[in-house]
């Protein structure tokens, strides 16, 4: 099994900075969802052009929505048929529609 790629110090710093920025953006998105300043529909439409949002796990997004905790989020995903490891970019049209219908109740 090959080890991690050999990076120069500059490449490592750049990768760490990029990862930190992605984590900050995801935390900001989750906070906006929790405060209701962003809806699930807005998030799904932005995911088409934003790689950070598209790479976020569906379970994490659902857990960030007000009124949905860890247990309800998993239950919703099971009912719709979405895997726990699925990311936003991997959702099909029917799954997106089902999520919007289910979470806008």
Task: With respect to residue 94, please indicate whether it lies within any of the assigned structural domains.
Answer: yes
Q: Tens digits of per-residue pLDDT, 3-44? A: 777 888 899 999 999 999 999 999 999 999 999 999 999 999
Q: CB-based contacts of 85: which residues, under 8 Å, 6+ apart?
A: 57
Task: With respect to residue 25, please indicate whether it lies within any of the assigned structural domains.
Answer: yes
- Closest listed residue to residue 59, CA positions, set 91, 20, 105, 32: 91
- More confident call, 75 vs 4: 75
Task: With respect to residue 3, please indicate whether it lies within any of the assigned structural domains.
Answer: no
Q: What is the largest CA-CA distance in the chain?
A: 51
- What residue numbers bound the domain in which 61 lies? 14-103
> Over 80: is that where the pLDDT of 104 sits?
no
Rounded to two decimals, what is the model's pTM? 0.83
Looking at residue 98, which CATH number applies to its domain? 1.10.8.50
Predicted pLDDT at 19: 95
> What's the mean pLDDT when you consider all of the chain?
91
Task: With respect to residue 67, please indicate whether it lies within any of the assigned structural domains.
Answer: yes
Q: CB-based contacts of 25: which residues, under 8 Å, 6+ apart?
A: 52
Number of compact structural domains in the chain: 1
């Amino acid at each position: 099994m090959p080890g991690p790629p050999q990076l120069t110090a500059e490449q490592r710093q750049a990768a760490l900075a990029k990862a930190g920025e992605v984590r900050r953006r995801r935390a900001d998105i989750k906070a906006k969802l929790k405060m209701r300043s962003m809806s699930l529909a807005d998030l799904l439409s932005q995911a088409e052009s934003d790689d950070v949002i598209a790479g976020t796990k569906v379970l994490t997004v659902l857990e960030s929505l007000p009124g949905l905790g860890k247990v309800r989020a998993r239950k919703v995903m099971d009912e719709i048929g979405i895997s726990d490891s699925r990311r936003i970019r991997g959702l099909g049209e029917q799954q997106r529609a089902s999520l919007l219908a289910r979470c806008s109740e």
